[in-house]
Amino acid sequence: MAKKPILLVVMDGVGFSKTGLGDAVSLANTPTLDYLLANYPNVRLKAHGSAVGLPSDDDMGNSEVGHNAIGCGQIYSQGAKLVNESIESGKMFKSNAWAEVVNNVKEHDSTLHFIGLLSDGNVHSNISHLIAMLKAAKNDGVKEVRIHILLDGRDVPATSALIYVDQLENALKELNDSSFNGLIASGGGRMKITMDRYQANWKMVEEGWKTHVQGEGRFFPSATSAITTYREENPGVIDQDLPAFVIGKENAPVGKMHDNDSVILFNFRGDRAIELSMAFDQDGFNKFNKAYNPKVVYAGLLQYDGDLQLPKRFLVAPPEIHNTLTEVMVENGVNEFAISETQKYGHVTYFWNGNRTEKFSQELETYVEIPSDKVSFDERPWMKSAEITDRLIEELKSHKYGFLRVNFPNGDMVGHTGSLPATICSMEALDLALARLLAVAKKEGYTMLVTADHGNADEMLEKNKKGEITVRTAHSLNPVPFIIVDDDNKYEFVEGNYGLANIAPTVVKMMGFKIPASWEKPMIK
């Protein structure tokens, strides 16, 4: 086999549909992807559940654990599974961070606040973790608790918020007595407040700060009242887009934060937790004016960025990921290039490198971020695919790099909007990018690998319990492609069941390097 430089293309959110419901991948005109699947060796990879370290095969994959697996060649306990293990063992409630937040409110007779995504989607959070912490807080002598809920409708059915509100209210009803008082204090849709990522829209975080911390906004007597009112006022709106609300009595918020309170962010996924953690925990924070800035003890469920130490306190230690693909490349002196637009830039850098912000080698690694548009992605479903491709083609022609990787966010980010026509358009823009890259990769002598990190665009509709077809905005449980495009080398796959973690050892075998003993097996002979 002639060793060639490699281009790895990650088509974010592009899988193979099992149901055919709202399959934007198949509905789109994608002659290049169709050609590659018909003419080059390819397999289908598992990109969810146990294949990416999640608790069960009912758990959908996501871009974070997906890129961890692709970039690390190994399967680590992740997200919900990592937290589940810590709760079951009791390790979380013996952590220094838990002791600090609890002792702080007991010492000052103050309030413990929880902020996070209220659902069981297992992508950013799980309501069971919140309820476990509420029970532990009461057992540890905490008297006052306030909960600031972010509504999902993205990783779970689009209008399911009241299911989770009822579940939380019932749990609080069982816990509340003369020694403990827990209340929902504020909330809003996850794409309206608080949960921005990659510093794309700080106004979302500022709006969340005003809502959760300052207790400012439109008042309602309950979360249920807020959700039902907003739905009546905004026909067709889904949970992730519901406006902010504050629970108040006689126009006084029930959950405004004060000096000496404690705050726990109960999301476990890092990308949409970092900015709020910066606002609470970063010295010299200046992304927006915190007109009201109480001195609180803040902790995250996990540490969302180890290099930036955000947050400083965290309840569950992250997996220690070693022997990543980039480390193997650096050891062998390979120049690497990574590129995406803002929405997925962290995935081809931070998550790819095992949750590490810093480079392993300043000399051998080059990262490029193309700024994303600050608009709803169904308005510009092509996103920055053309600009990413322009720059990537320049680098392919330079022959400077032995390994290049790119993430095209279209299928995932547009898929999350719930717009099937826009997602079809996004797939066609992606296919055009593939066509341009294919021509250059062939001409310039690269092996081109095409894969995805999870499904999404492949399943835009679903049947609800009544048998009705409804919009789906969540990731799918579908497999994803892995295609080897090389006219000079005839690679053959070894028969087996493969997941995303098998990609790195396959790349290393193609390049002729030693595969770390801790990795999964390569897919080729």
Q: Please check whether residue 114 is in contact with residue 133, taking contact to mean a CB–CB distance below 8 angstroms.
A: yes
Give me the catalytic one of 26, 50, 56, 63: 63
CA pair distance 248, 182, nearest whole angstrom: 14
Termini Cα distance of the chain = 11
**Crossing angle (nearest 10°) for helices 202-212 and 274-281:** 60
Number of Cβ within a 10 Å radius of residue 66: 31
Token pair recorded at residue 470? 């409804």
Number of Cβ within a 10 Å radius of residue 359: 17
Please compute, for residue 392, the number of CA atoms within 13 A of its CA located in the half-sphere on the CB side. Answer: 33
Q: Please check whether residue 125 is in contact with residue 119, taking contact to mean a CB–CB distance below 8 angstroms.
A: yes
Beta strand 111-117 with 262-265: parallel, antiparallel or unpaired?
Answer: parallel
CA pair distance 296, 110, nearest whole angstrom: 10
The region that residue 510 occupies, defined by phi over 0 for left and psi between -120 and 50 for alpha, beta otherwise, is alpha
CA pair distance 294, 76, nearest whole angstrom: 37
Q: Which of 64, 83, 165, 63 is nearest to 117 (CA)?
A: 165
Phi, psi (deg, nearest 5) at residue 405: -135, 145
Burial 158-169 (b: 16+ CB within 10 A, else e): bbbbbebbebbb
| 236 Cβ neighbours under 8 A, 6+ residues apart | none
Residue 416 gets which letter from DSSP? G
Token pair recorded at residue 249? 């009595």
Token pair recorded at residue 478? 């579908």
Q: Hunting for tokens 């600050």 — which residue is that?
A: 374
- Please indicate whether residue 119 is annotated as part of the active site: no
Q: Which of 315, 297, 245, 241 is nearest to 473 (CA)?
A: 241
Q: Hunting for tokens 């816990």 — which residue is that?
A: 175
CA 340 distance to own-chain centroid: 15
Alpha carbon distances (Å) from 189 to 44, 70, 96, 193, 452 = 34, 31, 32, 6, 28
CA pair distance 498, 2, nearest whole angstrom: 25
CA pair distance 257, 210, nearest whole angstrom: 10
Q: Please check whether residue 470 is in contact with residue 464, taking contact to mean a CB–CB distance below 8 angstroms.
A: yes
Phi, psi (deg, nearest 5) at residue 306: -65, -35
If DSSP codes are grouped into helix, strand and coil, which group holds residue 495? coil
Residue 436 gets which letter from DSSP? H
Q: Which residues are catalytic?
A: 63
